[in-house]
């Protein structure tokens, strides 16, 4: 499986994004193209690692000026 990295700044606070990403039902809405997913690791308010049928990934949150990176 190839290794890809993406960085993005979103105009949402870390708690807002954490609420969306730390629940498998919410995260699955964003990642439906990868099939059924499961959260494999959580570091509260910082990291969500997930695995799907067709891919896996890790989201790391970091406050950044006007939003979250």
Q: Where are the beta strands (DSSP E) in the chain?
A: 37-43, 47-52, 56-60, 63-64, 67-68
Q: With respect to residue 6, please indicate whether it lies within any of the assigned structural domains.
A: no
Q: With respect to residue 51, please indicate whether it lies within any of the assigned structural domains.
A: yes
Q: With respect to residue 35, please indicate whether it lies within any of the assigned structural domains.
A: yes
* Residue 1: pLDDT over 70: no
* Residue 54: pLDDT over 80: yes
């609420």: which residue's tokens? 19
Measured distance CA(66)–CA(9) in Å, rounded: 9
Q: With respect to residue 58, please indicate whether it lies within any of the assigned structural domains.
A: yes
- Domain span holding position 44: 14-68
Give the number of domains in the chain: 1
Helix, coil or strand: residue 42: strand
Annotate 22-31 with b (16+ C-beta within 10 A) or e (fewer).
Answer: beeeebbeeb
Q: With respect to residue 48, please indicate whether it lies within any of the assigned structural domains.
A: yes
Q: What is the pLDDT of residue 58?
A: 93
Q: With respect to residue 3, please indicate whether it lies within any of the assigned structural domains.
A: no
Q: With respect to residue 61, please indicate whether it lies within any of the assigned structural domains.
A: yes
pTM of the predicted model as reported, rounded to 2 decimal places: 0.82
């Amino acid at each position: 499986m190839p290794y890809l990295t993406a960085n993005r700044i979103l105009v949402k606070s870390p708690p807002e994004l954490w609420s969306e990403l730390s629940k498998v039902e919410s995260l699955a809405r964003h990642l439906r193209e990868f099939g059924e997913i499961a959260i494999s690791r959580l570091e509260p308010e910082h990291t969500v690692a997930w695995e799907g049928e067709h891919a896996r990934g890790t989201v790391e949150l970091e406050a950044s000026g006007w939003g979250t990176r």
